[in-house]
Chains A and B, each alone.
Chain A
């Protein structure tokens, strides 16, 4: 019971509601409110628009930079302006202008008058025209039947034309004006007439000004030569723009037809990158000039995205207004409110900015069809690795060696044809019988006709299946395996080595292509057992005598083996990385086998029949009493007549060495070994246990060994890995980070260290970890069956950057986010280049040859080919397409010795130690290569043999004297076919020229070879330009004194008509048969 309040309260406390003051709280909150409002304004202007402050900074810095430039440029310009040439040109311009001035003025006057007249009449003319037009319409509206009305309306029209007058204040001259009345007709005529006059006058003025104009252009060209780049005026212009630059949102807005870039709707590409990277804006920083941080005095700054694009060439090929930035670089081209968002490096943007080491990934999407993309070295390396390290053995990738697939498809087609043929052959007699029993002749004839058609059809089928057979012949030639053929392991390898190798792949050979599999000792034993037991046992190799190792070494270093192979280990490693390092071959291989291999790597012990699915032996051939011979010319199965596998699936070419040389090299290789090879004495009895072999086969299949090796019983194994063609655009949720998902999101690396770039929960992070250690995503996993573990072996990416290269390739391999017309699918010669590179890299042509300008071959980098030894390098092929006759090239590629009898030599440069080997290219590959070379030197696809004007006798005499004059040293270096002379010759035989070369090229060559192949042994300056044609620069032979033609051309024509006899006469001897192998073996 609360106490009753006294009715008359003694004290009267203030009522908090009525008395308490709100002034203070109100003051505070109002103040806060103002602050927040201010903040919101700030946020509006800068907070959400960081690019504004960037632009301010850039503008000021850039203006300062230009100031300096302008000063420098001004100096240079003054220098030029004071030069006499400039003054002369300038004066001529002024003079001509002065001369033309009065005439121009006169014409100007007339034109002005005409313009005034036109203006004066224009209104009335338009009025009149409108009026008459309307009347004519009325007239035309009347149906022809209504003669009366038509006539009436016609009258109206005529009246309007004749009598409907307009008053015009007509300027007669510039001073006086007279008022006259004009009618439609004369208005009309006057008007056209004025236009005519005016045009005439303008033309006249053009003629008068012509000389001035020419002078001006001359002046301009002179200036542009003397002062390349921007002139001070333009720079000042730019400076002015920079000075009073007001921040504005720079946006590239591309909407190519049907574009849905980054799937962001059909709006096309909206790229605002330049709003911060303002240096990329060509209107501010013209494409010509390159702007660096240092130029802006911000070299140290980490927050100055102002440089112009470092590679203007790329920008020229990929114009900003078409490509923008984000399609190549990734990132969120639309976002502007923060760096993270703009670069798309946050959870929700699917195409984050590529990191520096992966920039080239941007090229891949459109250049997926290229094996070699210009200016994308990292990407190219990635593709090369993908092929070489055998990724392709397990992971299909669109465009990479797919011959095996084609072959299978080819076989199926052949089988189908066979079946169809069988059906038809059954059908034919049936139809004929029906025909015989036909009630009347018409039906009979119809049936007979059907029968005959079928017979024709059958022959057509035969033809078709024949072409398929030939194609599969080609394909069988083109199919290469990354690893060696394991069918001949018994003949090649020491038994004990196999298990050791499987367990210690990368320790035995640190630069091997083979990845390290994670195998238990037990698995190792089973696999080795299988490998050993599946291998062929015979027919035995022929026994070889030991050779001369010392000579072998010389050959190995001089014949060009090191373009692909390497010898020596660690820092002592010399040679190419394209194929195996040979430094421990001696430990593991059989001498006899190596001899055979060196002599002809493509030689097999037994041919393989894909239809019978077994390796044939002498017995099969004996059955059909055929000799046991199988090669490209004897490639059909004696049993079923289908194409056989007659060659080793290796890219290693045949160097056409003699048996002795082969023995010498082999003997040298056998000396390359470690003394302490203890494993060779291990007990390997398990390898003969058939039980183990059975398990082994399962494992081999499980680990996909057949992807890279040829293995008995597993010839038709497919690829076991996932296809990676579009791996780059796999949703992150589909990449199984397994136990590392959370760590990846929180930026903790598998080794527990913090990731340098923070969270790595993205494709890049996944690929990197996977490639560095494929087992990583198995850590802590439970596997009921060990085979459930991840299979991917550890790829041997021993060089720094290898991982980045592959990651780059994978990141770039996305579903197209760009419209199809952005993809690089050239239709012109570039297509052939695109196709050619696949072959060139497949066989490592670039190991020996320089093919692309600026590219270095492996040999060029070797110690044996430095300084004066450069002359021993294989020929540079940068202009091969323009140099040689494609038909000849085809023959040469088919048989580089250009001879069927004497093959232990180079066809063209017999003086070179390094050997152009025989690659046994398929016809298809040869075709592609020839087209490639032609395209590379921009030759037309179709080759029309050029005509060489025949020489008259006098000309021939002159040419001969020139050719043999002591001053012309041609025959000193060039081969003549006489062994004595040729042994220190250093250039090809002239007799080859006719079939081999193209006269136009030879013309360019002899006048200045250094231009075509810098550093060539062929000297420049043999000819000098004299009144419009080339003249021999040495003392001319008397007979040439009165020759006024082009002497270079004369010499070329002479070369192309040179005959063995002629040459023989020159070098003073009767020509030996086929001098210098001039005759290409036509095969």
Chain B
């Protein structure tokens, strides 16, 4: 113990001698405060390729039981026939709508400015239209209420800010945006529990939501190998890998089994 003091005194003396005259380069030379992430280059449109394809449902869409809107007379009036919850919407030839197709890979080495035009989410007849919305981080989501009843829009994200605004009939549209990429943010109207929608937020523009024709296109995609993933509310996700050469356009199509893996 005592010797340690002795040694320590000497060692300290030497060490300090170094630090004080040597100007302790050792520690000074260590890293600078991390610079902000370099804003990646824009995608070179001349070489960019694209991925197109269709989504189909193999089998018969399950028969869902219609929504009971009796709690809100107005809504009931709005529809002539009872509304089927739009979980699985198919077009002719089993084309599957409301499927989100996107590039799964990390594209952060490119920079993608958020588009200025906003993405609509309408409330018509106490239903969300479209049922699935996809937009880029920072892009404005414009929520309109065309009904004669008050709705409230309540997205319940995991990684984004949660909000819950009421929108009386004829109120001006609510504009909001999501800062962080997130999959399938459930949106709910607490007043009308059956009203449900999903919002997808991406950091890049390589995503598409299929319509009744089940077609999609991811364009202006720089050459490379990508994992393309497709999400369906009921049947979960599938993915495929695709390699795109310069100015090449590849076709990728997904088929969901009607009795396939249940999303949730």
Q: Spell out A's residues near B (CB within 8 Å).
A: 42-43, 46-47, 50, 52-53, 56-57, 61, 294-295, 297-304, 338, 340, 346-347, 866-868, 870-871, 966-969, 972-973, 981, 984, 986, 1009-1010, 1014-1022, 1032-1035
Contact = CB atoms under 8 A, between A and B. Distances in A.
Contacts of A1015: 156, 162, 164
A780 to B, nearest CB: 26
A1032 B168 CA distance: 10
Interface centre among B153, B163, B166, B191 (most CB of A within 10 A): B166
B214 to A, nearest CB: 27
Contacts of A56: 20
Contact of A1019 (B19, B33, B166): B166
B13 interface: yes
B31 interface: yes
15 contacts: A57-B24, A294-B31, A299-B31, A300-B31, A338-B12, A868-B196, A966-B149, A984-B71, A1009-B164, A1017-B190, A1018-B164, A1018-B190, A1019-B153, A1019-B165, A1021-B165
B164 A1019 contact: yes
| Interface secondary structure of A, over-half rule | loop
Interface in B1-56: 1, 8-9, 12-13, 16-17, 19-20, 24, 26-28, 30-34
A1035 B19 contact: no
Given A46-B16, A867-B156, A969-B191, A1010 B71 contact: no
A50 B34 contact: no
Interface in B155-172: 156, 158, 162-171
B150 A297 contact: no
Contact of B166 (A52, A301, A347, A1021): A1021
A301 B26 contact: yes
B148 interface: yes
B71 A301 contact: no
Nearest to B33: A294
B152 interface: yes
A1027 to B, nearest CB: 19
A654 B153 CA distance: 38
The 7 closest A-B pairs by CB, nearest first: A1034-B168, A301-B27, A1019-B152, A300-B30, A1019-B166, A1017-B190, A969-B191
Nearest to A1034: B168
A530 to B, nearest CB: 51
Contacts of B153: 1019
A611 B237 CA distance: 68
Contacts of A298: 27-28, 30
Contact of B1 (A294, A303, A347, A968): A347
Given A294-B33, A1022-B166, A1034-B168, A969 B193 contact: no
B154 interface: yes
Contacts of A43: 13
Given A294-B31, A1019-B164, A1033-B168, A346 B19 contact: no
B48 to A, nearest CB: 36
A972 B69 CA distance: 12
Contacts of A967: 149-150, 168-169
Given A42-B13, A972-B191, A1020 B162 contact: no
Given A973-B191, A986-B193, A1017-B154, A46 B169 contact: no
A338 B27 contact: no
A1023 to B, nearest CB: 9
Contacts of A1022: 166
Given A57-B19, A966-B150, A968-B150, A1021 B167 contact: yes
Contacts of B150: 966-969, 1034
Given A297-B30, A338-B12, A967-B149, 19 more contacts: A47-B13, A47-B16, A57-B24, A297-B28, A298-B30, A867-B156, A867-B186, A868-B156, A966-B148, A968-B150, A973-B191, A1010-B164, A1014-B162, A1019-B152, A1019-B164, A1020-B166, A1021-B165, A1033-B171, A1034-B168
B190 A986 contact: yes
A972 B20 CA distance: 75
A53 B15 CA distance: 11
A295 B158 CA distance: 32
B27 A47 contact: no
A1010 B193 CA distance: 19
A867 B158 contact: yes
Interface string B191-211: 111001000000000000000
Contacts of A1009: 164
A302 B188 CA distance: 52
Contacts of B169: 966-967, 1034-1035
A61 B28 CA distance: 8
